Chains A and B, each alone.
Chain A
């Protein structure tokens, strides 16, 4: 795995069923990981809703993004981050999420953006 300054950070701000933004972001992550490009994900704003357990996408005939997200550890994508403030603003319990994410305060979020070589936002 390359050093962080050569790695890619995908920043996603959309919830799991908001058009195709969340899915486009995840496709890029999985493709990068398949080619062994080191990649991390920052779930900002409504994107923290992607991390809720018990999503039943079939209720609206959608594909389950949550199922796809659970494959991330298999793709060796383990650098997952979320601003603590995004969870707090939405009343979400950080101990009850689909995947283990590192919670960042706002300064740490800003520092994270500096630490990656490339950033793509969705």
Chain B
């Protein structure tokens, strides 16, 4: 996919729009990736992005949907720990889309 341009720097993406180098991530990268998906990031999006980045730092995995739902509930409460909340924030395939915006690899064990 076409690279992003941020502050004169070129950020390479793979054919599905995930970062080629995970170290390239910054909040601005997330904003631009989200924009390309038609999403303007709000606080509730950032909560999930933060959770995913912490999860990856500890386990070096992009969590599958079921695990993302569970971890969201543990961290942010029951009213957010459900697939409806995540689907509203990241329509379509929340685990994949949120991982993309958080600068993680595509979840490998997720449909």
Contacts and interface: CB of A to CB of B under 8 A. Distances in A.
User: Would A and B touch once assembled, by the CB under 8 A criterion?
Assistant: yes
Interface of A: 27, 30-31, 34, 36, 63-64, 67-68, 70-71, 74-75
Interface in B62-94: 63-67, 70-71
A34 B64 contact: yes
10 contacts: A30-B61, A30-B64, A31-B64, A31-B108, A31-B109, A34-B110, A36-B66, A63-B60, A68-B61, A70-B58
Nearest to B65: A34
A70 B57 CA distance: 12
Given A31-B64, A71-B63, 8 more contacts: A27-B109, A30-B61, A30-B109, A34-B66, A68-B60, A74-B67, A74-B71, A75-B67
Contact of B60 (A27, A36, A64): A64
Which of B58, B59, B63, B67 has the most C-beta atoms of chain A within 10 angstroms of its own C-beta?
A: B59
Contact of A74 (B70, B108, B109, B110): B70
A87 B61 CA distance: 27
Contacts of A27: 108-109
A37 B60 CA distance: 22
B59 A34 contact: no
A18 B64 CA distance: 25
Contacts of B70: 74
Contact of A67 (B59, B64, B65, B67): B59
